[in-house]
Structure 1
Amino acid sequence: MIELAVFDMAGTTIEEHGAVYEALRHAVEATGVTVDPADLQTWMGTDKREAIAALVRIGGGTPDADLVERQYEVFRTYLKRRYEEVPPEPIAHADKTFDELRARGVKIALTTGFSADVALPLLASLGWSAEEGGNLDAVVTADEVRRGRPAPYMIHRAMEKCGVFDVRTVLVAGDTVVDLEAGTHAGAGVVVGVLTGQLTREQLEAHPHTHVVDSVADVPGLPEASAS
């Protein structure tokens, strides 16, 4: 039986209609480089400043610290506008998944490649919170740790916040390759790919995992998540 379920946000528990993909591409291409869609997908789910630096470099640019910070602000402004135009909403049955797992004694944490200044207003717009009385037990943003995904640090930070000691009792779920890599690097007992993002089953199954499911709605039905 798992003690902690760690879910990604955009594309896994939150439907944001491709806004992050668009905003990241816009921020990078505004520097004058071209972004290959495959490279962009590779960096989805990672810390957004790290993604901007890497994609500018891949495109032949020179991503010094000032440029990265400027383009992060471009990313943030573009994303805010897109969220105002088409508000994000919970992935179907995400709330029910949280409630079912918590009713079994499983703690719920969200991790994200966003920094807190983006992630927390997004969660507030959905009525989600890790505050007392909220529907979450922890939120970990990319700026809380030394490195974002595929490093395991956000998962370990979620364990710390939730008081979970044994990583083998942790389930990690996400829609990108770096979600699966982070879960594997962390040593999580259950690593789940979900198909509500941009990747196909075949693309996710090419990387270490224990399960690939249609959506987070399927997580409570996994054997490891069943009530003991």
Structure 2
Amino acid sequence: MITLAVFDMAGTTVDDGGGVYEALRLAVEETGATVSPADLQAWMGTEKRAAITALIELGGGDPTLAADTVDRAFDRFLALLDEIYTAHPPTPIAGAPETIAELRASGVKVALTTGFSVDVATGILDRLGWVVGGGEGEGSLQLDALVCGDEVAQGRPAPYMIHRAMERTGVLDVAEVLVAGDTAVDVRAGAHAGAAITIGVLSGKLDRAAFAGEPFTALLGSVAEIPAFLAAHGA
């Protein structure tokens, strides 16, 4: 029986209009590196400092050329993302708030994980009016935990954010965990964590073909389909 659902943020529960893709691409290109769409796609969902480092290398740059190359690119990424989000604020993925509320009402805890740092992720949740850990707020959506890429030793596809979500929600058995995300590294992290169910969702930038060969249990249109999926599979 599933007692914890671990959902990604951007592209899975939050529609940021592709803002994180654009900010990451621009920040890396400003270092002089070239960012190909394929490389950008491959590193989406990962911890952002790691993504910046890899994308600079893949684009023909040298992230060690100056001691602060990655730090400056990361700071620039944050500034660009803030500009993009100010102009085009993130909104919930259609059906995501209802799914989260329905799962929690049925006794399933819901945690969000993200490659964003804590300050970025909490800023997004504040914009949406989503509250973590029993906070109060009229009309706010309640969540049980948030785990960010800068809170663990390694981001996706490592399983550590999922295991940290289990720790924060008091769930002991990976056989009771469902993981869902819109990128390849999301489903790889679910598989590495040993989650009972790992779901790829098509609400982000990737199409069905991009998930070919990845270790998902199911591929759904969005998290809005998850309650019905669990009901159909007796989970």
Residue 61 of structure 1 deviates from its aligned partner by: 1.3
CA distance in 1, matches of 2:231, 2:117: 31
Bigger drift between 41-50 and 127-136 goes to: 127-136
CA distance in 2, matches of 1:199, 1:122: 22
CA distance in 1, matches of 2:213, 2:102: 30
Q: Which position in structure 2 is the counterpart of 1:25?
A: 25
Q: Which position in structure 1 is the counterpart of 2:71?
A: 69
List aligned pairs for 1:64-143, cutoff 5 A.
Answer: 64=64, 65-133=67-135, 135-143=142-150
What SS does the corresponding residue of 2:192 show, helix, strand or coil? helix
CA distance in 1, matches of 2:201, 2:220: 5
* Deviation by residue 1:138-175 (Cα, 9 ceiling, x = unmatched): 00011110000000000000000000000011000000
What SS does the corresponding residue of 2:167 show, helix, strand or coil? helix
Which amino acid in the other structure matches residue 149 of structure 1?
A: R
* Deviation by residue 1:60-95 (Cα, 9 ceiling, x = unmatched): 211135111100010000000000101100001111
Bigger drift between 149-158 and 123-132 goes to: 123-132
**Unaligned regions of 5+ residues in structure 1, if any?**
none
* Corresponding residue pairs, total: 228
Q: Which position in structure 1 is the counterpart of 2:221?
A: 214
Q: CA, structure 1 residues 223+106, in 2 after alignment: closer, same or farther (shift >3 Å)?
A: same
CA distance in 1, matches of 2:233, 2:122: 30
Q: Identity across aligned pairs (percent)?
A: 58
**Unaligned regions of 5+ residues in structure 2, if any?**
136-140
> Are the counterparts in 2 of residues 2 and 225 from structure 1 also a CA contact under 8 Å?
no
Q: Which position in structure 2 is the counterpart of 1:14?
A: 14
Which amino acid in the other structure matches residue 71 of structure 1?
A: A
* Deviation by residue 1:97-154 (Cα, 9 ceiling, x = unmatched): 0111011100000000000011101101101111324610000011110000000000
Residue 203 of structure 1 deviates from its aligned partner by: 1.7
Q: Which position in structure 2 is the counterpart of 1:49?
A: 49
Q: Note the aligned Cα RMSD (angstroms).
A: 1.4
What SS does the corresponding residue of 1:6 show, helix, strand or coil? strand
CA distance in 1, matches of 2:99, 2:181: 14
Residue 33 of structure 1 deviates from its aligned partner by: 1.1
